[in-house]
């Protein structure tokens, strides 16, 4: 298998360490003074589901995993799993909700997402950086409450709650950044 430099690790990548596959949940690059850079990654062991932190120098290499990505359609979820359909052959499969993680907050039925497969098994999903969702519930703006940058809570059609500007009303569609879980703009 090919090796990649630890500097090239990013969130959502899969690699092997000691023949164990890991999914990068969080990546940080730290450089202090004249010393070497340190790469810290929060990873999920794809075999045991355990989460841990690994530290590398910028010169270390890791073994790249052969991950296949497919665009699929999100169908629905229950207590344990999220269900998807491959639009090429209409086959359906499920991913444990723990593997989907916080991305489930921004999934609505029928939405297209990218699923990563390792050795034929679905392991994680990739959402677009920005999704369009409808506001299902939010309070009305109170006159006089117009301090610069004032925000209020809004419940999205997926059930998650984010902060939006005071001028946003129930029923409007907005763009949401899925990485920062924040309001971007109106549609």
Long-range CB pairs of 156-164 (<8 Å, 24+ gap) are 156/105, 156/106, 157/108, 157/133, 158/104, 158/105, 158/106, 158/107, 158/108, 158/133, 159/105, 160/105, 160/106, 164/135, 164/138
Per-residue pLDDT reduced to its tens digit, 36-70: 888 899 998 888 888 899 999 888 899 988 889 99
Domain 130-186 - what CATH class?
A: mainly beta
- Domain edges within the chain: 3-64, 67-126, 130-186
* Residue 139 pLDDT > 70: yes
Domain 3-64 has CATH 2.60.120.10: no
Question: Where does the pLDDT of residue 147 fall: very low under 50, low under 70, confident under 90, or very high at 90 and above?
Answer: low
Instruction: Write the CATH number of the domain with boundaries 67-126.
Output: 2.40.50.140
Nearest by Cα to 176 from 138, 119, 143, 130: 130
Give 85's pLDDT tier (boundaries 50, 70, 90).
very high
Question: Taking the model in full, what pTM does it have?
Answer: 0.75
Matching CATH topology for 3-64 and 130-186? no
């Amino acid at each position: 298998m090919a090796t990649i430099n630890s500097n090239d690790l990013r969130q959502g990548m899969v690699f092997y360490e000691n023949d164990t596959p890991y999914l990068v949940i969080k990546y940080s690059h730290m450089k202090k003074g004249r010393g070497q850079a340190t790469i810290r990654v929060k990873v999920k062991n794809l075999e045991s589901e355990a989460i841990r932190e690994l530290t590398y120098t910028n010169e270390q290499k890791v073994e790249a995993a052969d991950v296949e990505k497919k665009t699929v359609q999100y169908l629905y979820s229950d207590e344990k799993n999220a269900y998807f359909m491959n639009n090429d052959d209409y086959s359906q499969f499920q991913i444990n909700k723990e593997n989907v993680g916080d991305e489930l907050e921004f999934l609505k039925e029928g939405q297209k997402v990218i699923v990563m497969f390792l050795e034929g098994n679905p392991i994680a999903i990739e959402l677009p950086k920005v999704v369009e969702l409808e506001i299902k519930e939010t309070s009305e703006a109170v006159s006089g409450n117009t301090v610069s940058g004032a925000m209020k809570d809004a419940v999205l059609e997926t059930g998650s709650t984010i902060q939006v500007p005071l001028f946003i009303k129930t029923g409007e569609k907005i763009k949401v950044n899925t990485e920062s879980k924040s309001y971007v703009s109106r549609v």
